[in-house]
Each structure stands twice: as C-alpha cells, then as structure tokens.
Amino acid sequence: MMCPLCAAPTGTTRGYGRTFYACPLCGHLFTRDYDETQLRRGMGMEGSWSGPGGGGYREYCLVKILEQLCGMKSFLLFGTGNTPTLARLLAEGVDVVGCDISPDVVAYKKSVHGEERFDQPDALPGGRLFDGIVAVEVIEHFVNPLESFGLLFSCLAPEGIVAGTTDFYPGGPIEDANRYMSHKGHVAYWSQASLQTVAARFDRSVTAFEMVRPGSILPDEKFRLLWPNKRVFFMHGRGENGRRLRALHHDMDILDINMP
C-alpha cells in the first residue's frame, strides 16, 4: 500500500482488529478497513455521541476565534451534521454556510435555512470562497486526503484558514484509552507531521494547540493529562493571519474550548 500523501511504500501495524498502514516518510497512518456505505452516509440526523441536534460547541468556538483573531467574515462549516451551530451563527448575523455528506441532513437544513445555506460537499465548488472553513472531527474520515483537502482549499479565500479538531497519533500502539481509531468511520490518524505534509501541498502551514477537556478549568495542573491526543489545528498561509496564529501559539499552546 502506498502513502496517499507522498506515495512512499508503507509498513503495516494492527489495532482494534484492523490493519493500519504507516508511512515512513511523512508519518501518515491510515486504514482501508472501513464500511463504504457508512462512510458515505455520515453521521446522519442522529449525530455522533452528542445525539440529535446536539454538539457543535467547538465549531462555534473556532468561528469566534477566527472572527476575533483574524477579522474573518464568511465561514463554511464542513461536516457540521445535525449540530445547532449553523442556526446559532445565522441568528447572530454571521455569513455562514453548512455542508455535510448525509443526504437527510442536507435536505433538512436546506428546508430550515434555505437552499443557499447548506450543501453536499460535491456541490461546493460553486464559486463561493470562504474566509474560514471549520472541520471539527472530520479529517479522520478522509479516505482520499489530497482530494478532500483539495476541495476545502478550492473553497478558501487566498488568506483563508482551515481549522478543526482531531486526535493526533502520539506514536506507539494504535490502541489508547479513548479508543479513537476503533471507530469504523475513522480511517486517517493524523499527526503534526502528516498534516503539515498535506498543508505544504497547498502552500500552507499547520499550527496546532492542545485542547482543554470538558469540565476542566484553567489553570488546572492536571489538564494536560485529561485529553492527551486531541488537537485543534489551523492550516494557514504565510501572511498576516498565519503570523497571528503563531503569535497566539507562542502565548498559549492550549485553547480553552472546554464544553462538549
């Protein structure tokens, strides 16, 4: 199996009864053991662990960070599912569009917010460019990462930023306390190095932060232990927005996104 990012031959490792492929060059870790139907269906109206109509707090926080830090005005919530984030931001007057792979979610959101406010990923290259694209717990579902990131960057304004969350592979065994890669829909286990490899293809860099686990309060001397692999990442260019994110990271490498 070749690495989908740099075409190097990969080695294999096992976890949760699945075979994973590890690239010796860029560190990308991925599996081809997944259910195609499930991957195409997405999370549907039920959502994931947050349940129907729940979750979305991280998406909301990332939009606020991009608004406040970079003065961004237009946003795409990529893979937002049935969270209330789109409705919440629209009620605040934010220019935001939602997108999800689940046909039932697309139909429902279009009926509530209008045809122009929600789309399938395939329908996105419609000439609209967004300042910020937010993809929370999405990129671990990318089977063809260059294609999927290509879609995202094709919808991004020149100084735009792609932001999201995922678990970063810390090295060592695949299996961990959070059982992140046991989920059949999770096919890519990213790291700073492999995400940076993708970013470089699109002339971008990655700045990543640790995230406070829900219920933890800063300052908390133990919080680094509470959600060890979760990362908030920003893929940005070399311009002013990239400098702002690097400066933020210099000041604090943990983001206080502390609700579920």
Answer yes or no whether residue 26 interacts with Zn ion by CB under 5 A.
Answer: yes
Answer yes or no whether residue 3 interacts with Zn ion by CB under 5 A.
Answer: yes
Output the CA angle 97-255-225, nearest 5 degrees: 125
Pick one of 6, 87, 90, 157: the residue that binds Zn ion (CB under 5 A): 6
What 3-state DSSP class applies to 250? helix
- CB of residue 23 vs Zn ion: minimum separation in angstroms? 3
Closer residue to Zn ion (CB): 90 or 146: 146
* Cβ neighbours for 228, distance < 8 A, ≥ 6 positions apart: 170
Taking residues 103 to 142 in sequence order and writing x for each that binds Zn ion by CB under 5 A, - otherwise, the string is ----------------------------------------
d(CA 236, CA 238): 7
d(CA 5, CA 164): 19
Q: Which of 208, 167, 173 is nearest to 189 (CA)?
A: 167
Closer residue to Zn ion (CB): 5 or 76: 5
Q: Which of 96, 240, 98 is nearest to 158 (CA)?
A: 240
Per CB under 5 A, contacts with Zn ion among 27-66 are 28
Closer residue to Zn ion (CB): 189 or 223: 189
Candidate ranges 1-9, 87-95, 125-133, 166-174; the one touching Zn ion (CB under 5 A): 1-9
d(CA 25, CA 90): 43
Pick one of 5, 72, 156, 211: the residue that binds Zn ion (CB under 5 A): 5
Six token digits for residue 35:
């259910």
Interacting residues toward Zn ion by CB under 5 A: 3, 5-6, 8, 23, 25-26, 28
